[in-house]
Amino acid sequence: MKYVLVFALISKMFGSFSVSAEFNSKEDCEAANRDLREMHYGVDEPHNAYLHGKCYPKGLGK
């Protein structure tokens, strides 16, 4: 089964950013979600932001 990662970053200072990507397994999807969070937390100047990332089975809701 394929999975889709929906990841959003929302901040007052920088506005919002979202990305979605398709993966062949839930494990790959969750690893990408962790990588995006680690990249955000690793910035030199951290800022207040709301992060949301979740993997959904592809075709959910059809």
Question: Rounded distance, CA 23 to CA 7, Å?
Answer: 13
Band (pLDDT 50/70/90 cuts) for residue 61 is low
3-state secondary structure of 50: strand
Please state the rounded mean pLDDT for residues 26-42: 87
Question: Rounded distance, CA 60 to CA 62, Å?
Answer: 6
The pTM for the full model equals: 0.76
